[in-house]
Amino acid sequence: MASIRDVARIAGVSPSTVSRVMNGTANVEEDKRQKVLAAIQETGFKPNELARALFKQSSKIIGVIVPNIENPFFNELAKAVEEEAYINGYKILLCNSNNNTEKELMNIQMLNQMKADGIIILTYSDKTGQAIASCQLPVVVVDRQLTGSGQSAYVESDHYKGGKLAILHLLDCGCKNIVFLRGPLEVSSGQQRYQGYHEICNKYGIREQCIDCLYDYEDGLRAARELVEKYHHVDGVIASNDMIAIATYKILTREGYRIPDDVQMIGFDNIRFSWLFTPELTTVNQPIKKMGTLAVQIILNYAKGLPFQQENILDVSLVERQTTRRKE
Amino acid sequence: MASIRDVARIAGVSPSTVSRVMNGTANVEEDKRQKVLAAIQETGFKPNELARALFKQSSKIIGVIVPNIENPFFNELAKAVEEEAYINGYKILLCNSNNNTEKELMNIQMLNQMKADGIIILTYSDKTGQAIASCQLPVVVVDRQLTGSGQSAYVESDHYKGGKLAILHLLDCGCKNIVFLRGPLEVSSGQQRYQGYHEICNKYGIREQCIDCLYDYEDGLRAARELVEKYHHVDGVIASNDMIAIATYKILTREGYRIPDDVQMIGFDNIRFSWLFTPELTTVNQPIKKMGTLAVQIILNYAKGLPFQQENILDVSLVERQTTRRKE
DNA sequence: CAATAGATGGCAAGCATTCGAGATGTGGCA
DNA sequence: TGCCACATCTCGAATGCTTGCCATCTATTG
């Protein structure tokens, strides 16, 4: 592989001149410029990104740490991040943490050593929180609130509003016996959605009915089984997210419930699958793409020394589809 | 950020000695060793990966180029790749090509400049084929056959067998009027599956009924609409993959067909969603995880100078679930 | 006392970039 | 016409950081 010095030798100039031609850093006399260009052509010279990054102390890499790429929510987000990064000349280093704090810490350290320009992280334990705080890199936490500070920011949706939207919609649809498959209260999305739900219940004097449920499909199946066992007269389900809604659909139909005739159902997130699924899921939309784009922009701004907003809470909206039906 | 020279100065030794302590390259006297360790502790020194990679001419990065991370098949594969890479101390640089040859070439070039240790690519146009052939890096093409050569290899499933398995199963289930939503013939998976189907049709004197269909959901909807228009008496559908099967399910049920009572259906790939879906999809399993693992291992072997198999065709198998039903 | 083994330091390589200094040339003024 | 000043261009060296090789030095053993 040709180096800048090979090019310089062939063109009969110094490496600095070649560098100037390539980067347009300064004027170069036309005939030398032509010779350099010719030499670049001839050798097929491409600058070594590692050397460049080493000098510049920046690798133009953004690290993305997700618990599980397989999860549609995370991979839709990863896609948005990749696109925005690519447009701006950045690359994505993808790390799967498998919800393993150990691996998360390893990844953060690795990104530090790689001189990544920022980290976008989609998971958050207390330990990682500390690692983030003591991290020299800008970190954007997505879908979790952040209590620490430093050069970090967070991006999430208005889950509180989402929770209200969900139950209000089921009420609009005439549900009398709503069960909330409640997401984990330790994470802000679960906590906030529950708060929204809770407030509406209070306001209308509705008795709360919750089943705790993690965000993964398997636990969704478990929770849904508990649902059909405990709540025979259920006519409305708020699933903690779309994957849980899909799991619940399987269990409910297996038990002979028809959706939305017997039980109406609403999810959260509006992942692509909520629309691909049959029936198409009513859900509370999170602007996933926008979250990814924003996260990248925050890192870009940080890199450029521009100001950025530390707390970003994006709006959510109701998407009515086939698992609910408004009363005429 | 502390450098190895800072550590050396504090410990009162030379940088080489520090390096030796860190990497265990050679023996170091115990008291110096202790001093070095203490200095590392004190400074929190972590070697600069860029400098290391520059020296070693290897960044321990594997580039993964997928057409679309959102596609479940690709992201299940990406996950397997990430896991296997992580275990072996490699990182994944994820590139979304969006089926854009331009972007693919850019990514290949970028990975070259980054001194990636290999590329795993899940898409394949003629132009990229050339780029791959002239690439100094080892390349593993997954899910496509490769006609060129160089230091490249390919990993794919036995699609031919898969095609046979699919139609034979529908015949076993008593289907008399099977339509094949045929994947693109330009790619080997489409071509080979069709060959398998074709051979069985020949053998049993069945009239072929095909609708051409790309691998994405939207085109699946289109093809499925064409299906219900053209083939009123269809009682068996072979979908070009699971996503297409899911799209077909939507259209068929909307038209009042019951599955599997009126129409039986089989897909390909056995993506996670084929099981999460209701009804659970009968499908032809591709060992996705194994494919990802193998692809990484090929690159690892190449890096170690070990031999590796250039052509890898993995076995497929039938997974019977709820969209087909064997005749008693 | 010599020879060898083991430990350690220094230097160079890997590569692109930037800065300060030097070189070349041109224009203006005496 | 000759000289000085200034502008423009170009080069070399230093920077970023680590590792491997070679040379050196010390200590131990025969």
- The span from the CA of B149 to the CA of B133, in Å, is 6
Pairing status of strand A236-238 against strand A264-269: parallel
B38 CB below 7 A from strand C atoms: no
Please report whether residue A328 resides in a domain: no
Say if residue A301 is in the same domain as residue A271.
no
Smallest Cα–Cα separation from A300: which of A120, A146, A150, A124? A120
> Per-residue pLDDT for A169 more than 60?
yes
Mean of the per-residue pLDDT values for chain A?
93
B147 touches B89 (CB < 8 A): no
The range of the structural domain enclosing residue A121 comes to 58-157+288-317
> Per-residue pLDDT for B124 more than 80?
no
B10 touches B2 (CB < 8 A): no
Q: Is A276 on the interface with B (CB under 8 A)?
A: yes
DSSP state letters, B136-169: SS-EEEESS-----TTEEEEEE-HHHHHHHHHHH
Q: H-type helices in A205-282, by residue range?
A: 217-230, 242-254, 272-276
Q: Is B321 on the interface with A (CB under 8 A)?
A: no
**φ/ψ (deg, to 5) at A25:** -70, -30
Chain-centroid distance of CA B212 in Å reads 23
Question: What per-residue confidence (pLDDT) applies to A150?
Answer: 63
As given in the structure block, the two tokens for residue B238 are 């072979």
Question: What per-residue confidence (pLDDT) applies to A316?
Answer: 98
B115/A250 touch (CB, cutoff 8 Å), yes or no: no
Say if residue A267 is in the same domain as residue A164.
yes
Pairing status of strand B91-96 against strand A91-96: antiparallel
Please report whether residue B52 resides in a domain: no
pLDDT in tens, B242-298: 999 999 999 999 999 999 999 999 999 999 999 999 999 999 999 999 999 999 999
Please report whether residue A280 resides in a domain: yes
Please report whether residue A97 resides in a domain: yes
At residue A148 the predicted structure's pLDDT band, cuts being 50, 70 and 90, is: low
Q: What is the mean pLDDT of residues B41-59?
A: 93
**C1' of C10 to CA of B12 (Å):** 15
Q: Is the dihedral of CA B62, B66, B68, B74 positive or negative?
A: negative
A132 touches A139 (CB < 8 A): yes
Between B54, B75, B96, which is nearest A69 by CB? B75
**C1' of D3 to CA of A29 (Å):** 27
Bridge partner residues of A66 (DSSP): A96
Range with lowest mean pLDDT among A163-177, A225-239, A249-263, B16-30: B16-30
Nucleotide nearest to B26 (CA to C1'): C7
**C1' of D15 to CA of A24 (Å):** 21
Smallest Cα–Cα separation from B285: which of B248, B320, B246? B320
Q: Is A265 on the interface with B (CB under 8 A)?
A: no
At residue B148 the predicted structure's pLDDT band, cuts being 50, 70 and 90, is: low
Q: How far is B132 from chain A (nearest CA, A)?
A: 16
Question: What per-residue confidence (pLDDT) applies to B144?
Answer: 86
Buried b (16+ CB within 10 A) or exposed e, A295-314: bbbbbbebbeeeebeeebbe
Between B72, B75, B114, which is nearest A50 by CB? B114
Please report whether residue A226 resides in a domain: yes
Q: What is the mean pLDDT of residues B37-46?
A: 92
In percent, the amount of chain A with pLDDT more than 90 equals 83
A93 touches A114 (CB < 8 A): yes
Say if residue A101 is in the same domain as residue A220.
no
Out of A183-192, B126-135, B190-199, the most confident range is B190-199
Q: Is A60 on the interface with B (CB under 8 A)?
A: no
> Per-residue pLDDT for B149 more than 60?
no
Say if residue B174 is in the same domain as residue B144.
no
Tell me whether residue A233 is exposed, middle or buried, using C-beta atoms within 10 angstroms of its C-beta: 0 to 12, 13 to 18, 19 or more. exposed
Say if residue B119 is in the same domain as residue B169.
no
B40, B52, B75, B99: which to substitute to probe chain A, counting the most A Cβ within 10 Å?
A: B75
Neighbours of B129 (CB within 10 A): 16
Chain-centroid distance of CA A143 in Å reads 7
pLDDT in tens, A51-110: 999 999 999 999 999 998 888 999 999 999 999 999 999 999 999 998 889 999 999 999
A250 CB below 7 A from strand C atoms: no
Chain B contacts of A70, Cβ < 8 Å? 72, 75-76, 79, 272
B51 touches B15 (CB < 8 A): no
A113/B47 touch (CB, cutoff 8 Å), yes or no: yes
Pairing status of strand B264-269 against strand B236-238: parallel
CATH of the domain at A18: 1.10.260.40
Please report whether residue A326 resides in a domain: no
B3, B43, B45, B50: which to substitute to probe chain A, counting the most A Cβ within 10 Å?
A: B50
Give whole-number Cα distances, B191 to B185, B212, B224, B284, in Å.
4, 11, 20, 16
Say if residue A68 is in the same domain as residue A23.
no
B15 CB below 7 A from strand C atoms: yes
Q: How far is A136 from chain B (nearest CA, A)?
A: 9
Between A49, A75, A103, which is nearest B113 by CB? A49
> Per-residue pLDDT for A300 more than 90?
yes
Say if residue B281 is in the same domain as residue B183.
yes
pLDDT in tens, B160-194: 999 999 999 999 999 999 999 999 998 899 999 99
B47/A112 touch (CB, cutoff 8 Å), yes or no: no
A79/B59 touch (CB, cutoff 8 Å), yes or no: no
Task: Tell me the residues of chain B between 150 and 209 that have a Cβ less than 8 Å away from chain A.
Answer: none
At residue A327 the predicted structure's pLDDT band, cuts being 50, 70 and 90, is: confident
As given in the structure block, the two tokens for residue B154 are 């390919």
Q: Is A48 on the interface with B (CB under 8 A)?
A: yes
First to last CA, chain A: 72
At residue A287 the predicted structure's pLDDT band, cuts being 50, 70 and 90, is: very high
Q: Is A91 on the interface with B (CB under 8 A)?
A: yes
Say if residue A133 is in the same domain as residue A168.
no
First to last CA, chain B: 72
Protein-covered nucleotides on strand D (Cβ within 7 A)? 8-13, 15-21
- The span from the CA of A99 to the CA of A79, in Å, is 20
Please report whether residue A220 resides in a domain: yes
- The span from the CA of B118 to the CA of B113, in Å, is 12
Q: Is A94 on the interface with B (CB under 8 A)?
A: yes
Say if residue A217 is in the same domain as residue A239.
yes
Give whole-number Cα distances, A272 to A64, A130, A146, B202, in Å.
21, 34, 27, 40
In percent, the amount of chain B with pLDDT more than 70 equals 98
Question: What per-residue confidence (pLDDT) applies to B150?
Answer: 63
Smallest Cα–Cα separation from B97: which of B70, B77, B134, B72? B70
At residue B131 the predicted structure's pLDDT band, cuts being 50, 70 and 90, is: confident
- The span from the CA of B138 to the CA of A198, in Å, is 56
Say if residue A13 is in the same domain as residue A104.
no
Say if residue A132 is in the same domain as residue A69.
yes
B110 CB below 7 A from strand D atoms: no
CATH of the domain at B247: 3.40.50.2300
Phi-psi region of B287 (alpha: psi -120 to 50; beta: other; left: phi over 0): beta
> What number of helices (H) and strands (E) belong to chain A?
13, 12
B154: amino acid identity, one letter: Y
In this structure, the dihedral spanned by the alpha carbons of residues B63, B69, B71 and B75, taken in order and rounded to 10 degrees, is 60
pLDDT in tens, A8-48: 999 999 999 999 999 988 888 888 999 999 999 999 999 99
**C1' of C10 to CA of B14 (Å):** 9
Question: What's the full length of chain A, in residues?
Answer: 328
**C1' of C5 to CA of B17 (Å):** 18
Say if residue A277 is in the same domain as residue A300.
no
At residue A166 the predicted structure's pLDDT band, cuts being 50, 70 and 90, is: very high
At residue A125 the predicted structure's pLDDT band, cuts being 50, 70 and 90, is: confident
Q: How far is B199 from chain A (nearest CA, A)?
A: 33
Q: How many domains does chain B contain in total?
A: 3
Smallest Cα–Cα separation from B251: which of B211, B192, B193? B211
Q: Is the pTM of this model over 0.85?
A: yes
Please report whether residue A323 resides in a domain: no
